[in-house]
Amino acid sequence: MYFLKLVYFLSLVAVVALGGVGASDDCKDSHSPRCRKSSTEHQMHPRPNKPFVSRGIGNAQERTSDYWLNLGYNHVRDKVNKKLNTNKAKNIVFFIGDGMSIPTLFATRVALGGEEKQLSFEKFPYSGLAKTYCVDAQVADSACTGTAYMTGVKTNFMTLGVNGQVPLSDCKAANNPTTHTESILKWALDAGKSAGIVTTTTVTHASPGASYAHVADRMWEDDYQVRQSGCDPNETTDIARQLIHGAEGSLFKVILGGGRGHMRDAKFPDEEDGFGFRNDSRDLISEWLNDGKPNKRYVWNRNDLLNTPTNTDYLLGLFENSHMKFRQQTEEMNAQNSEPTLEEMTRSAINILKKNNKGFVLFVEGGLIDHGHHYTIPKAAVGETIEFHKAIQAARDILEEKDSLIVVSSDHSHTMSVSGYPTRGNDIFSKTDRTLGGVGLAGDGMPYMTLSYANGPIFSTQYSSTGRVNPDNSDFSRWNSFYPFLVPTTDLETHAGDDVGVFASGPHAHLFTGVMEQSHLPHLMAYAACIGHGPKSC
């Protein structure tokens, strides 16, 4: 039977490849080449057997030619009339949506109210794509990508702030300073600008860590993790220590995110719950506060952040022992006042950094988009993308386009896809409402979700060893509902290797177009701001 099905499939492929058969074949025989080709075409392009009831039909203008023609004409005029901004970039805000794939953008648009909606950064005048592979891996992690987009040098999987000569987890290889890469934040500091980092993950995580750390393993966030890897913390400096005492990190004027635990020894209690993660009797928060620099302030909750004194010159805000919570999680817990939003952290950072007349470079990461996808929880990933979109709008509102460059991108993608042929306006988090013949059922007689993943964690409620879980028997109403996937993994859902978007607004934003290496991004930003060691616009 399998052989016969294979022969039948190959015959269909052959017919399609040959472009059909002669006109004499009138399809009287259901097994004729013409009938087989017709059947294949219907399967590839299913026709609905009922009218769509959708948001698009509710807009009468979309049914007219004039609507779309005028929309296109206006777009052309906007492009033609857009004047190039070749000013020197005084300020740069570089946003990374961790794991923010192109399908994530689509799902977020629909969640915000419609397929036609635009996220704040999608309104930027210039856009392109970035290739995300590592030196030694087709599909990247956030350390090798962070090194690429922050320092302009691609490197090995899971290594951070070093070049490709450093093998993963080599205890001493990164001690060689010739392997170290310099970040755009260092270039800013060297030029007399201020620098800072904001993230919803730990401030020692891979993405922010790429701005200041040089390690052979991104997991070495504290001395305990270094020791667990079989290395000597006295010879291998962990990421938290590099942030607080390193050449770059110690000069940052703003550090906001999670990760108190990586700063303190296990004997020190946390402000909210638990203890530190370190094993060297150190309290790096106290060390940061007492390093002799004036006007320093440490905060650990939203209220203290929003009431930061105006004379603060250095701000360290750590709002969780580990990563910050998903925004939907804080809302469910009625704990919105315990943690600031990404927008609030971004505004606070800019308010401090803009005191420098020479300008600043600020890195902002929406880090929990990635976490939502890893757990195959797209509602969380989309929710965090909405928070990301708000933060970018805030930055653009605060800073003038004439002298402040804003660049938005992602480090890598994820395996989430948007599939089926759902009607316009269908809930993006619901079941696909039509497939072949207009019935929203798959070949196994069960419905399927519009959003699903190529792989996912075996502990998910969407995994069954006996076959696909029927979506009708699952609850997808919660923000943390697991979604279906194909291949079960013993860990979490993996990253994906497709290109990610790049969006730019401000001085020299027109350079951020086309398909580029991810490692080109900091060089373009440095050119616009006249910093670094490469070409400059002034």
Residues recognised as catalytic: 142
3-state DSSP assignment of residue 271: coil
3-class DSSP state of 326 = coil
User: If you write DSSP's letter for every residue of 117-130 in order, what string do you get?
Assistant: ---GGGGSSEEEEE
69, containing H or E segment = helix 65-81
* Contact (Cβ atoms closer than 8 angstroms) between residue 210 and residue 264: no
Between CA 248 and CA 122, with CA 210 as vertex, the angle to 5 degrees is 115
User: Kind and range of the H or E element at 143?
Assistant: helix 142-151
DSSP 3-state of 313: coil
**CA distances to 12, 26, 48, 436, 437 from 42, in Å:** 13, 17, 11, 8, 9
Residue that is written with structure tokens 């890893």 in the block: 374
* Phi and psi angles of residue 472, each rounded to the nearest 5 degrees, phi first: -65, -20
How far is the C-alpha of 156 from the C-alpha of 134, rounded, in Å?
6
Q: How far apart are CA 370 and CA 304, in angstroms?
A: 28
Nearest to 488 by CA among 471, 468, 463: 463
Rounded alpha-carbon distances, angstroms, from residue 198 to 41, 298, 340, 352: 50, 14, 11, 13
State the SS3 of 371-440. Answer: HHHHCCCHHHHHHHHHHHHHHHHHHHHHCCCCCEEEEEECCCEECEEECCCCCCCCCCCCECCCCHHHCC
